[in-house]
Amino acid sequence: MKIKVNENFSNIADSYLFSDINKKIKAYKEKNPNADVIRLGIGDVTLPLSSVVIDALTKASLEMGNKDTFRGYPPEYGYDFLKEAILNYYKRFDVNLSMDSIFASDGAKSDLGNIVDILGDNDVYIPNPVYPVYLDSNIMSGRRVHFINGSKENNFLPMPNVNYKTGVYYLCSPNNPCGAVYNYEQLKEWVKFAKFTGSLIIFDSAYEAFIKDRNLPHSIYEIEGAKECAIEICSFSKQAGFTGLRCGYTIVPEELMCGDYSINKLWKRRQATKFNGVSYPVQRAAEAALSDTGIKECQKNIEYYMENAHALSKLFDEKGIYYTGGKSSPYIWFKCPNNMDSWSFFEFLLKEANVVGTPGVGFGTQGEGYFRITSFGTHEKTKEAIERLRKIL
Ligand code: PLP
């Protein structure tokens, strides 16, 4: 062919992290067929959907099979019933949203990747380490990317810096992979900085439902002025176990203006052109997840995962190993012992304890020497893994 392709794709690093991990486990098991390998690298939920969600999903699916209740294309921005449920959910954090600022999506990943469509040629600032979608989607569209570094010094919560200029800033809290959560003061500083420099914050709150500490913000809109400088992207994936159902939402406040341009209008235009909405049964299921009973049931699953997280954190406390996360997040991010690099520690853990996690360097160069484990396994497997880790750490 003689057409031109988007050559920016050649600038994205190939994503081999999880396939490399799987290859290493496979090779190890071939050599040690009796090894009982425990996976603490799981980034997906493992508990089934709650009964409230399943009931709503079933009822809505049956409606689709009846002439009187059948529904065709959903509204591009989401049904009002779901938007109202989201609006009411935010009232729990004393945040008042307008219906027009809420956009239902098929998950946070799509909107995090698509948001670049409405933004021009800006400098883009991305945490290092972090969930890789922000970086890859910006490189695909040829943006100038700078890193804002996480480290032990800032507890993996990068803060504004005099060297940072006007641009688009991605923040993830609770953070994947580090599990760290920004507090009110830190987010206030970010909002102040964004307003002072005329920057936009893209705030990924996919794990907000894991926050238990009342002193930590669930939404950037809990900070005064944030509606003038931030887009928030959230998901039902981890809150309600929707990784297989697919539903999320994006908040683009009407207050977000860039000169004469309304960012809200640009996003509406983008979605109306390129997105045809989330299926009716899935939106009903998401609505049910945000009902009082739905929230209670979903929180039970989160509590199950958090029991694992707390048990794992206790081990690192006991061993005096530096870590972040595990308190308001399903992730625990720790310093590899004896200054091992991330992959050497992966090998060591697999060989000595038959336990698998994720090398921190896979989330950015600043993750070298660190390691991520997750709390999405069963209590039994996690307990067993902790006993094995206790012996080798
Ligand atoms: N944001 C973060 C920080 C994530 O870790 C993930 C998934 O792991 C997502 C977004 C994607 O969420 P969704 O399943 O809604 O696409």
Mean pLDDT in the chain?
Answer: 97
- Ligand 1 in reach of 173 Cβ (< 6 A): no
What's the CA-to-centroid distance between 206 and ligand 1, angstroms?
Answer: 6
Q: Stretch 146-164: mean pLDDT, rounded?
A: 96
SS3 77: coil
pLDDT of amino acid 6: 96
pLDDT above 90: residue 160: yes
pTM value is: 0.97
> What atom in ligand 1 is closest to the CA of residue 110?
16
Q: Given a cut of 90, is residue 169 above it in pLDDT?
A: yes
* pLDDT confidence of residue 15: 78
pLDDT for position 179: 97
Q: Distance (Å, rounded) from C-alpha 388 to C-alpha 270?
A: 51
Instruction: DSSP for 144-209, please give it.
Output: EEEEEE--TTTTT-----TT--SSEEEEESS-TTT-----HHHHHHHHHHHHHHT-EEEEE-TTGG
**Domains of the chain (ranges, CATH numbers):** 15-49+294-392 (3.90.1150.10), 51-291 (3.40.640.10)
User: What burial letters (b/e) apply to 350-388, b meaning 16+ CB within 10 Å?
Assistant: beebbbbbbbbbbbbebbebbbbbbbbbeeebbebbbeb
Rounded to whole angstroms, the maximal C-alpha distance in the chain is 67
Q: What is the DSSP string of 252-311?
A: --TT-EETTEEHHHHHHHHHHHH-----HHHHHHHHHHTSHHHHHHHHHHHHHHHHHHHH
Q: Which residue pairs, CB below 8 angstroms and at least 24 apart, start in 240-243?
A: 240/49, 240/50, 240/53, 240/209, 240/286, 240/289, 240/294, 240/298, 241/45, 241/47, 241/48, 241/49, 241/50, 241/53, 241/298, 241/301, 242/49, 242/107, 242/282, 242/285, 242/286, 242/289, 243/44, 243/45
How confident is the model over 82-132, as pLDDT tens digits? Answer: 999 999 999 999 999 999 999 999 999 999 999 999 999 999 999 999 999
Taking the CA of residue 235 as reference, the ligand 1 atom at the shortest distance is 15
Sign of CA dihedral 48, 54, 60, 66: positive
pLDDT digits (tens, 9 = 90+) for 286-318: 999 999 999 999 999 999 999 999 999 999 999
Residue 13's pLDDT is: 84
- Contacting residues for 191 by C-beta, under 8 A, at least 6 apart: 201, 220, 223, 224, 225, 226, 229, 230
* Ligand 1 and 233: CB distance under 6 A: no
> pLDDT tens-digit profile of 31-76?
999 999 999 998 899 999 999 999 999 999 999 999 999 999 999 9
Residues in a beta bridge with 358: 372
Query: Which among 172, 113, 110 is positioned nearest to 137, based on CA atoms?
Result: 113
| Residue 46 CB burial class (10 angstroms; 0-12, 13-18, ≥19) | middle
Ligand 1 proximity of 302 Cβ (cutoff 6 Å)? no
Phi, psi for residue 105 in degrees, rounded to 5: -140, 175
Q: How far is the CA of 363 from the centre of ligand 1 (A)?
A: 14
pLDDT of residue 242: 98
pLDDT tier, 219 (very low <50, low <70, confident <90, very high otherwise): very high
Identity at 14, one-letter amino acid code: D
What are the respective helix, strand and coil percentages of the chain, to the nearest 5?
45, 15, 40
Q: CA-to-CA distance for 139 and 126, rounded, in angstroms?
A: 11
Query: Which pair of structure tokens corresponds to residue 115?
Result: 């948001």
pLDDT score at 263:
98
Taken in order 211, 215, 219, 220, is the CA torsion positive or negative? Answer: negative
Backbone angles phi, psi at 137, to 5 degrees: -70, -30
Q: Which amino acid is at 293?
A: T
Mean pLDDT of 371-385: 97
Residue 101, φ and ψ in degrees, nearest 5: -90, -5
Report whether residue 237 contacts ligand 1, using a CB cutoff of 6 Å. yes
- Ligand 1 atom at minimum distance from 131 CA: 3
User: Ligand 1 pocket, 87 CB below 6 A?
Assistant: no
Checking if the pLDDT of 347 tops 90, the result is yes
Tens digit of each residue's pLDDT (9 = 90 or more) over 228-238: 999 999 999 99
> Given this model, what pLDDT does residue 134 score?
97
pLDDT over 90 (residue 142):
yes
pLDDT digits (tens, 9 = 90+) for 238-272: 999 999 999 999 999 999 999 999 999 999 999 99
Of 381, 218, 202, 201, nearest to 305 (Cα)?
381
Q: Is the CB of 204 under 6 A from ligand 1?
A: yes
pLDDT-based confidence at 283, cuts 50/70/90?
very high
Within 10 A of 247 (CB to CB), how many other CB atoms are there?
24
Could you identify the atom of ligand 1 that is nearest to the CA of residue 243? 14
Residue-wise pLDDT tens digits, 170-202: 999 999 999 999 999 999 999 999 999 999 999
